[in-house]
């Protein structure tokens, strides 16, 4: 009896190993072995391996269903379509693509602490993002899902003039020249004029004097960022956050009004890149409201930061964080991009972040 229990435990263990580790050599070798056993009429041995495969598929299926990660060692039933591009990929550049089986992949996204984010999967494959102050951090592969304290420990400087020369917050591989695409559906908002905002080139968003950054008093400068916004009433806007929380805000583009976007599956692109020998930054916003984000995309707004943004209004004060000039551009990369909303309920179908060659 004990020997029988031991054999069952061994079978289950082997099944789990095959199922979880997706070892194709084991699978192919086992299929060949089963075939040989059948040819040689070693029925008992063949049955043992068949039982292992059965347990393997059962274990993988059960675990997949519980943790929402596909563990079966086979190709997926559906391959993700390539998202319509505007610019060329940067060779070997950092990349992120939404995992619609498990959005909290714990590799580049970790939103377990925010229960309203990816709260449930809809029948059409999209994921619910509930109302509230939504901040979805998407990190580079090199950075992974570091928490804020771990990030602050690694930051070498909060000084903008040094960052301008260095070119990045954390690593040379930080997201800098990027094409960010999100395919989504806005459902409802608690207040009017709510927007989805793509926040690039920042590191953290705490205000001066907050308890959370008391050991790093200049960390409020980490909020320096660009924001590409699209509102629920179809307006486009671009903002510059000099540090947290001090903005230079342009009025929405009055020439473009996409109308009410509620309950429409659309695609939105936020593109940010340096040009003219890193002396200027261009921000572009594209949309596809007609083909559910499959493309083509149409440019609906753009802005060039040439170092003069906010000078005439006397709102420019990048020098507070060490920039040489008040209107200095945000030229450096960041290890993460933030998808930000306030009081907006929406569904996410897909997200992609690509590093690009802007030419």
Contact 82, 337 (CB under 8 A): no
Residue 2: pLDDT over 80: no
Ordered by where they begin, the domains of the chain are 2-67 (no CATH), 88-357 (2.60.120.200)
User: Under 8 Å CB-to-CB from 248, ≥6 apart: which residues?
Assistant: 239, 240, 242, 309, 310, 313, 315, 316
Average pLDDT over residues 305-324: 97
pLDDT for residue 81 = 83
pLDDT for residue 95 = 97
pLDDT for residue 131 = 78
Average pLDDT over residues 196-204: 97
Tokens of 335: 């290890």
pLDDT for residue 292 = 96
190 pLDDT band, cuts 50/70/90, is confident
pLDDT for residue 104 = 93
Residue 75: pLDDT over 50: no
pLDDT for residue 257 = 85
Residue-wise pLDDT for 241-273, tens only, equals 999 999 999 988 888 889 999 999 999 999 999
Residues 175, 194: Cα–Cα separation, whole Å: 26
Residue-wise pLDDT for 91-121, tens only, equals 999 999 999 999 999 999 999 888 889 989 9
Q: Percent of the chain at pLDDT above 70? A: 78
Helix (H) or strand (E) holding 162: helix 160-166
Residues 76, 83: Cα–Cα separation, whole Å: 18
Residues 354, 181: Cα–Cα separation, whole Å: 9
pLDDT: is 74 or 309 the higher one?
309
Residue 68: pLDDT over 50: no
Between 26-35, 67-76, 256-265, the lowest mean confidence (pLDDT) is in 67-76
Residue 9: pLDDT over 80: no
Residue 71: pLDDT over 70: no
CA triplet 95, 100, 106: central angle to 5 degrees? 60
pLDDT for residue 329 = 98
Average pLDDT over residues 307-314: 96
User: Under 8 Å CB-to-CB from 110, ≥6 apart: which residues?
Assistant: 104, 137, 145
pLDDT for residue 340 = 95
Listing from the earlier edge strand, what are the strands of the sheet with 225-231? 133-139, 336-342, 195-200, 225-231, 236-243, 246-249
pLDDT for residue 14 = 56
Contact 139, 351 (CB under 8 A): no
Phi, psi of 84 (to 5 degrees): -55, 120
Is the full-model pTM beyond 0.95? no
Tokens of 22: 């997706």
Residue-wise pLDDT for 32-42, tens only, equals 555 655 565 66
Residues 157, 145: Cα–Cα separation, whole Å: 21
């Amino acid at each position: 009896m004990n020997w029988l229990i031991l054999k069952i435990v061994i079978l289950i263990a082997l099944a789990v190993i095959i199922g979880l580790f997706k070892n194709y050599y084991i699978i192919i070798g086992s299929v060949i072995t089963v075939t040989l056993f059948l040819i040689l009429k070693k029925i008992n041995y063949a049955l043992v391996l068949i039982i292992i495969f059965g347990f393997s598929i059962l274990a993988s299926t059960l675990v997949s269903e519980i943790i929402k990660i596909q563990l079966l060692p086979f190709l997926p039933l559906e391959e993700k379509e390539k998202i319509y591009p505007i610019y060329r990929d940067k060779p070997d550049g950092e990349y992120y693509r939404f995992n619609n089986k498990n959005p909290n992949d714990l590799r580049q996204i970790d939103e377990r602490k925010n229960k309203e984010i990816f709260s449930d999967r809809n029948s059409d494959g999209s994921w619910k993002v509930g109302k509230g102050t939504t901040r979805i951090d998407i990190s580079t592969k090199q950075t992974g899902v570091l928490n804020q304290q771990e990030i602050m420990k690694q930051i070498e400087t909060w000084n903008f003039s040094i960052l301008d020369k260095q070119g990045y917050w954390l690593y040379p591989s930080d997201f800098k020249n990027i094409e960010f695409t999100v395919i989504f559906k806005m459902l409802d908002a608690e207040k009017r004029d709510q927007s989805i905002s793509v926040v690039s080139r920042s590191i953290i968003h705490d205000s001066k004097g907050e308890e959370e950054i008391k050991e790093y008093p200049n960390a409020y400068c980490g909020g320096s960022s660009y924001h590409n916004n699209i509102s629920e009433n179809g307006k486009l806007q671009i903002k510059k956050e000099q540090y947290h929380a001090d903005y230079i805000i342009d009025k929405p583009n009055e020439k473009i009004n996409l109308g009410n976007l509620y309950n429409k599956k659309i695609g939105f692109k936020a593109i940010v890149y340096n040009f003219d020998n890193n002396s200027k930054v261009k921000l572009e916003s594209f949309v596809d409201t007609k083909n559910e984000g499959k493309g083509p995309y149409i440019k609906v707004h753009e802005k060039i930061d040439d170092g003069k943004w906010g000078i005439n209004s006397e709102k420019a004060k990048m020098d507070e964080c060490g920039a040489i000039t008040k209107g200095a551009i945000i030229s450096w990369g960041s290890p993460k991009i933030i998808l930000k909303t306030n009081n907006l309920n929406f569904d996410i179908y897909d997200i992609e972040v690509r590093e690009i060659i802007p030419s």
